[in-house]
Structure 1
Amino acid sequence: MRPAPFALGAASLALLLPISAHAVTVPAVAPTASAAASDAAHATPAAPTFARPGGRYERPVSLALRAERGATVRYTLDGTTPTRASRAYVTGRPLRITEDTNVTAVAFRGRRASLPVSAGYLVKTAEKPLARLVVMSDVHIGDHKNNDKKYESFFDTIGSVFPEPDAILSNGDMINDNGDGRGADHRIVSEIFRANLKRKGMDDTQVLLSNGNHDASLADIRANYPRDWFPDAGGGYYESKVKGLHLFTVNTETYNSDAAQRAWLKKRLAELTADPAAARTPVLVQGHRPAPRTTMDGQQAANPLLTEDLSAFPQVMYFSGHSHLNINDERSVHQRDFTAVNDGSMSYVEMDHGYQAVTETGLADRFEAPTAQALFVEVYRDRTEIARVNMAADKHDIYTDGKWSANWQPPYASAGTLSGPTWTVRLKGRTPQEIKKGFTYTDARRNTTAPRFTSARPLSVVGRSKGEKALRVAQAKDDQMVHHYRVDIRDKATGAELLNSKALAEYYFMPRPRSLDIPVPATKRGARYVARVSAVDAYGNASRTASVVFTG
């Protein structure tokens, strides 16, 4: 396929402010106090700062927000960009964060607004997990130039959630070999990872790799990493233990045709789950490609025999990558006979296909975004909690001047924000049937709540440059997330179609925009048009249709 605290502290936020590359000329005559005050009133305010950085906390967080003198801080707690209508922060009255939350703040002064800044807060208890693992996939590293600073930022985020994780799983496609002899790039990945593990003091963290379709050969993997990162016996698959938990790494490039690998996995899983006392202990499995009929409807899945072999073991939690599909989407976790979890991607994410995105040049058949994400897994005695964390989710188009540009460099205003609520997996019961009956993330229990528009006028038509128009859609709300908008614009008199699109809701950026401006194709002067829009979630539940009439 093509700081506990983390995220943004005051020092990180300062990096977001524009810095002139030129020397500042000091005026010969100092400005008067009134002139200085006038200049300050018309200057763009600096971004707010957070008194406590985002991250993982074992108690509720008391959070003070700070801004320049004369600026008003407004904030949101739902992942959206604050506006002048958002709640104002009152100095001396800190926010109390009692559950997993993204906090986004903007400083306003007059007509000027700062850049938005965000931080994610994971609020836990003092209970200690049995093991903590970071699960990532599809890092696609090919050089130091584009990846050294990026992975410094990524490891800073990792270290702020888990200061010393028990294991980091890199689940395939460490490099981007396309049969063009780039196997030696694995050494670059190894150098970057080892440098950051040393820098962050993660001396006892295990690193466990799987083989992906862009990883050249197994020999290249063995030659370029420490042996304990990929301890296979020749077939690209192996068994490990992480703090006493069993972890199986499978080679999904060969699984369907590798009888020995299949026999090994089934035998070991049967042995581990035979004892009724172990029925509720998760068994972790990682493999690069998703298994059919699991996450995100199996898009880009392979190895149906893997689905078949795992189906007898509801204790299995299978982690997979390859598809680059984002982990914001609730369909990225799925349970039927076992638990399947999509890892997302550390290079860029995709959305399921068939939709359009609002880009710098207008609507485009685009399903990629330059967003990096990973999973933070905590295994407790009675449950497994899986937090979804953005390494970088700033809003950018993945093309610049028509050229692929996924390698956005830090600092990232969104580093460490949450890309969705934590998933909690519980294994209840002592038999496979009892455990499956207690599954939560099944097709039968999928979401049925439709989004809703909360604005009195969710649609309006606004002007763009060169006399063009755009349909402004005030984002709807949903109990999980709005996935896209069905947009239909027609000539009111003739019914002729002007635009028909399923426009993505930009749920994969942090913060999400409060509205979308969907470009309207050229209209006839004086003609009347009607635009109809409904909001749709990831499961197809649709809101009421909103409409607006406008003149071309």
Structure 2
Amino acid sequence: MNISFAVISDIHLKSKTTKDEKKFKKALEVINRLRPELDAMIIAGDITHGGKKSEYVKFENIYNEYGNPNAERIFVMGNHDYWNGLPIKMAQKRFREFTGGLIHSHKIIKGFHFISVSTEGRWRDGHFTSKLLKWVKERLEIAKNDDPKKPIFFTVHQHIKGTVYGSEEWSNKSFYNVLKDYPQVVTFTGHSHHPLNDPRSIHQRDFTSIGTASVSYIEMEKGKVNGSIPPRADEFSQGLLISVSEDNKVIIEALDFVNEKIISTPWVLEDIGDKSKFKYTDDRYKCGIKPYFKGKMVKLKDVTSDSVTIIFNQGKHKDFIHSYKIEVINKITGKIHKEFLAFSDFYLNKSKTKLSVKLTGLMKNTKYNLKIKALESFGHESEDYLTATFETMNKSRIKTITDNIMLCVEYLFPSAQKR
């Protein structure tokens, strides 16, 4: 291979001791084992959680002990790295002092151009001056003129809006118009913590965009009952290994640091400067394969006057089930009372056969039918579905039961009531 490098982001080291230190160490150890002869290490921002000196000291100590000393460092600042109350220039000075990184850089490594930029302030969605955009454009021209058939690697913390999974919310649109004339550009962006298991973490339109997930924890889109930071979110840690072959073929492998393995089939970019050869495009939304159910079991527990917990067999798909659509239908009227969306546990890479979801906001003393459908990443629903029927409790009945229990307690233990 011509070059080999790793990309990670969103380490979020904190002043107090947390799992993040162990995760960072393990990420570096896994990368070293899989790719001992590493040419470069890219970190796409949010190295620290608050830009504190103590956090940077942790980073420096861990990286110096576990990082590959021969790998070129390409580190950029994320918004969290400014959360220290310092003026922008002082925050940047601290970053340079402890990481050895440059705020913005253009490096040529083994003949390949690496352009990296830091967000210029603590704003969540990023801030990039017109001066910086002009500088990036100039650097891109230099790289393209050097060899238009080679990929140009571009790193920034925030996703570029309208590209990868997570870029609708966790993004900045500043760079799109700068990059759109360079189909050979491959971007690496973090910030959202969205998982690399999802095929939408690579995207091609005018250039190639790749999400970098997070070393620290997972976060996904809002609107699901199990939360945008889903259950066992801290049992997650991911990154990327990239290699480029002699014929400029780019091979991207997604890494699961927790389970110490490559997640799935690598993404491969061929004929990098030819948009007509792009295969990770929006057209994938049209040709997704529908999931299905093999086991049809649904169990109900903890039924109250306004909630129920459902446990059901997870669906099947050639890749994985992303989430479920659960309709709670009033059995008398036949109308949908409420619709819930819930993530599966695909992001753990060790999905359980059953999933448990709590549904709330139901009406008391009401009979309901459940309908559960499985969804894959691009939104295609299963044609079959799971069903169940249940009835919520009456509040007054719950109060009567409670009152009866208290009467029994008073009868059996009268002295306890006088204390």
- Same fold flag (TM > 0.5): yes
- How many Å apart are 1:530 and its aligned residue? 1.8
Matched, 1:205 2:71: yes
Matched, 1:500 2:339: yes
**Counterpart Cα distance in 1 of 2:364 and 2:32:** 57
- How many Å apart are 1:144 and its aligned residue? 7.0
**Counterpart Cα distance in 2 of 1:508 and 1:550:** 30
Matched, 1:287 2:126: no
SS in 1 for 2:243: strand
**Counterpart Cα distance in 2 of 1:365 and 1:308:** 30
Distance 1:444 1:550, change over 3 A: closer
Distance 1:547 1:528, change over 3 A: farther
**Counterpart Cα distance in 2 of 1:149 and 1:441:** 34
The aligned counterpart of 1:104 is none
SS in 1 for 2:73: strand
Matched, 1:380 2:245: yes
The aligned counterpart of 1:265 is 136
1:349-388 aligned at under 5 Å gives the runs 349-357=218-226, 366-367=229-230, 369-370=233-234, 371-382=236-247, 383-388=249-254
Q: What's the RMSD between the two structures over aligned residues?
A: 2.8
The aligned counterpart of 2:41 is 168
**Counterpart Cα distance in 2 of 1:326 and 1:365:** 12
Matched, 1:223 2:89: no
Alpha-carbon contact 2:15-2:52 (below 8 Å) kept: no
How many residues get paired? 373
Give the residue type in structure 1 aligned to 2:209: A
Distance 1:297 1:390, change over 3 A: closer
Matched, 1:323 2:192: yes
Distance 1:445 1:265, change over 3 A: same
Matched, 1:519 2:388: no
Select 2:348's aligned residue among 489, 497, 509: 509
SS in 2 for 1:340: strand
Alignment TM-score, normalising by the size of structure 2: 0.80
**Counterpart Cα distance in 2 of 1:450 and 1:158:** 33
Give the residue type in structure 2 aligned to 1:258: T
**Counterpart Cα distance in 2 of 1:262 and 1:184:** 32
- How many Å apart are 1:173 and its aligned residue? 0.9
Deviations 1:326-375 (A, max 9, x none): 21111111111110111111111111221122xxxxxx565572211101
The aligned counterpart of 1:136 is 8
**Counterpart Cα distance in 1 of 2:280 and 2:384:** 29
SS in 1 for 2:288: coil
Matched, 1:458 2:296: yes
SS in 2 for 1:223: helix
Identity %: 24
Give unpaired runs (5+ residues) of structure 1.
1-128, 358-363, 393-413
**Counterpart Cα distance in 2 of 1:530 and 1:144:** 48
**Counterpart Cα distance in 1 of 2:48 and 2:175:** 24
- How many Å apart are 1:538 and its aligned residue? 1.7
**Counterpart Cα distance in 1 of 2:30 and 2:185:** 28
The aligned counterpart of 1:73 is none
Alpha-carbon contact 1:281-1:427 (below 8 Å) kept: no
1:8-407 aligned at under 5 Å gives the runs 129-143=1-15, 145-146=17-18, 147-177=20-50, 182-197=52-67, 202-216=68-82, 217-226=91-100, 230=101, 232=102, 236-253=103-120, 257-274=128-145, 278-296=147-165, 298-357=167-226, 366-367=229-230, 369-370=233-234, 371-382=236-247, 383-392=249-258
**Counterpart Cα distance in 2 of 1:470 and 1:158:** 41
The aligned counterpart of 1:423 is 267
Give the residue type in structure 2 aligned to 1:206: E
**Counterpart Cα distance in 1 of 2:128 and 2:150:** 29
Alpha-carbon contact 1:450-1:542 (below 8 Å) kept: no
Select 1:476's aligned residue among 310, 315, 321: 315
Deviations 1:44-74 (A, max 9, x none): xxxxxxxxxxxxxxxxxxxxxxxxxxxxxxx
SS in 2 for 1:421: coil
**Counterpart Cα distance in 1 of 2:137 and 2:332:** 65
Deviations 1:291-326 (A, max 9, x none): 122112623454423111111111110101111112
The aligned counterpart of 2:329 is 490
- How many Å apart are 1:244 and its aligned residue? 2.6
Give the residue type in structure 2 aligned to 1:384: V
Distance 1:324 1:333, change over 3 A: same
Deviations 1:173-195 (A, max 9, x none): 11112xxx724521221111111
Alpha-carbon contact 2:152-2:184 (below 8 Å) kept: yes
Alpha-carbon contact 1:419-1:508 (below 8 Å) kept: no
SS in 1 for 2:265: strand
- How many Å apart are 1:460 and its aligned residue? 2.0
Alpha-carbon contact 1:290-1:301 (below 8 Å) kept: yes
Alpha-carbon contact 2:221-2:228 (below 8 Å) kept: no
The aligned counterpart of 2:85 is none
Alpha-carbon contact 1:532-1:545 (below 8 Å) kept: no
SS in 2 for 1:540: coil
Give the residue type in structure 1 aligned to 2:111: G
- How many Å apart are 1:462 and its aligned residue? 4.5
- How many Å apart are 1:515 and its aligned residue? 1.8
Distance 1:366 1:141, change over 3 A: closer
Distance 1:346 1:308, change over 3 A: same
Deviates more, 1:464-473 or 1:488-497: 464-473
Select 1:537's aligned residue among 361, 376, 381: 376
Alpha-carbon contact 1:355-1:366 (below 8 Å) kept: no
Alpha-carbon contact 1:485-1:504 (below 8 Å) kept: yes
SS in 1 for 2:160: coil
Give the residue type in structure 2 aligned to 1:189: F
Distance 1:256 1:427, change over 3 A: farther
SS in 2 for 1:389: strand
Deviations 1:369-413 (A, max 9, x none): 221110111111331111111112xxxxxxxxxxxxxxxxxxxxx
**Counterpart Cα distance in 1 of 2:150 and 2:220:** 33
SS in 2 for 1:487: strand
